[in-house]
Every structure is written in structure tokens, then in C-alpha cells.
């Protein structure tokens, strides 16, 4: 039987990570987010710190630095960002074939295209002002710092997704479900999505 996978994309500050965790608890699915960085470092046979500032970021061609570290699974001479994407993509495909799971970011919707899994692509969004105030509450930031962080992280995620997929980030027609988390809040959004995911996975088209 095919495994059920949710590929969860999100705007920064929309509560995507929180919603993903609540979904995993409700559905009984494994949850993978920052864990993928550690798993990728282990596969590449390098220290996790080498990838720490590369996660979900596209390399800068003007500052290209070839990566010549790691074990036999690493294609030498790529950028560290490309090596990380390659390692994480291999891991995502393996996890998706092994267990029902939620994969946060990392272009999982594209990575799992053509794989023998039942993949639902989900995108969490929210108005900019709502996301700014959400980050202010979570990280105890002032408004100016929160605005800068939301803008910067969104730009990084958009560049990353577009670079590795060739598709626009956050465009509704590229996903199975897009939802505004500000409309219902984190808890109710997660509950609604859990209900719909159960129905979709139990009654595939």
C-alpha cells in the first residue's frame, strides 16, 4: 500500500511549522523538518555545522565555492547548497516510501513527483501583518526586527524553491491545498486540515 505524505510549504510566520506538528499528532504521521538537516549531514559524512546556514537556501552564483568534503555519496565540486539539496532529496524519497509522514519545505512536493506515494501538497499562508505579529509574539521581537525577518526569510524561501523547482513559490495552482492560517488561527486551521486530510487519504481519486 502506498504511504501517505504531506509536503508542507509555508510563508514565514504563517505558523506552518506549528500546524505541521499538530497535523502529525492528529494523523499519527511522522514529522520531518529540521531533522532533515542532521540526516543530510550524516549521509554526506560531514559535520552538521557545515550545512547549518545553507538549509532551504539557494547558492549565490557570484559567491560560488565548490564543496570538496564528505563521503562517497557527495558529488564533489558542487556548492554546499546543492549537496544539501541532493542529500535531503534522497532522504525525503526514502522516508516517503517507508512511512506516512509530513515533510516541511525542502521542495518536497517536487522531489516526490513521480514517486510511488500518495503525496498531498499543502501551502500555508497568511497576511504579512499577521505574520509579523505572530513572529513578534513567538520570538519576543520588536516590530521592525520582525518585519525584516519575515521579508528576508520569505525572499530566501522563494529563491530556493524557484531555483530547484523552476516553478513560482506559493502560487495556488501549484498545490493541492492552500489555506490562510490567519482566518481560523493555528489550532483550528490544523484541526480543519486534519479532517480534510483523513478524508482525502481514505478516499483517493
Q: What is the pLDDT of residue 62?
A: 76
- Would the pTM of this model clear 0.75, i.e. be above it? yes
Q: Quote the CA–CA distance of 4 and 119 in Å, as a whole number.
A: 6
Q: What is the pLDDT of residue 203?
A: 78
Query: How many secondary structure helices (H) and strands (E) does the chain include?
Result: 8, 5
Q: What is the pLDDT of residue 79?
A: 94
Q: What is the pLDDT of residue 89?
A: 98
Q: What is the pLDDT of residue 193?
A: 98
pLDDT per residue rounded down to tens, the chain (205 residues): 899 999 999 999 999 999 999 999 999 999 999 999 999 999 999 999 999 999 999 988 777 889 999 999 999 999 999 999 999 999 999 999 999 999 999 999 999 999 999 999 999 999 999 999 999 999 999 999 999 999 999 999 999 999 999 999 999 999 999 999 999 999 999 999 999 999 999 876 5
Q: What is the pLDDT of residue 64?
A: 85
DSSP 82-115: HHHHHHHHHHHHHHHHHS-EEEESTTHHHHTTTS
Across the strands, what pairs with 119?
5
Count of beta carbons in the 10 Å neighbourhood of residue 130: 17
Q: What is the pLDDT of residue 60?
A: 83
CA angle 158, 28, 16 (to 5 degrees): 25
Question: Can you tell me which residue has the cell 514529522?
Answer: 31
Across the strands, what pairs with 179?
124
Q: Quote the CA–CA distance of 191 and 176 in Å, as a whole number.
A: 17
Distance of CA 38 to CAs 35, 92, 182, Å?
5, 13, 31
Amino acid at each position: 500500500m502506498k504511504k501517505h505524505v504531506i509536503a508542507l510549504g509555508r510563508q514565514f510566520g504563517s505558523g506552518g511549522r506549528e500546524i505541521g506538528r499538530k497535523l502529525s499528532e492528529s494523523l499519527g504521521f511522522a514529522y520531518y523538518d529540521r531533522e532533515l538537516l542532521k540526516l543530510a549531514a550524516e549521509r554526506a559524512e560531514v559535520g552538521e555545522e557545515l550545512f547549518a546556514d545553507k538549509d532551504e537556501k539557494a547558492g549565490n552564483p557570484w559567491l560560488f565555492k565548490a564543496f570538496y568534503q564528505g563521503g562517497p555519496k557527495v558529488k564533489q565540486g558542487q556548492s554546499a547548497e546543492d549537496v544539501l539539496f541532493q542529500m535531503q532529496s534522497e532522504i525525503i524519497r526514502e522516508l516517503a516510501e517507508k512511512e506516512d509522514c509530513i515533510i516541511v519545505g525542502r521542495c518536497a512536493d517536487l522531489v516526490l513527483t513521480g514517486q510511488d506515494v500518495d503525496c498531498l501538497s499543502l501551502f500555508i499562508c497568511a497576511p504579512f501583518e499577521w505574520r509579523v505579529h505572530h513572529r513578534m509574539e513567538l520570538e519576543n521581537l520588536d516590530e521592525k526586527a520582525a518585519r525584516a525577518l519575515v521579508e528576508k526569510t520569505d525572499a530566501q524561501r522563494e529563491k530556493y524553491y524557484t531555483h530547484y523547482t523552476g516553478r513560482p513559490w506559493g502560487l495556488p495552482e501549484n498545490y493541492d491545498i492552500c489555506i490562510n492560517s490567519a482566518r481560523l488561527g493555528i489550532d483550528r486551521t490544523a484541526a480543519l486540515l486534519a479532517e480534510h486530510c483523513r478524508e482525502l487519504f481514505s478516499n483517493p481519486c
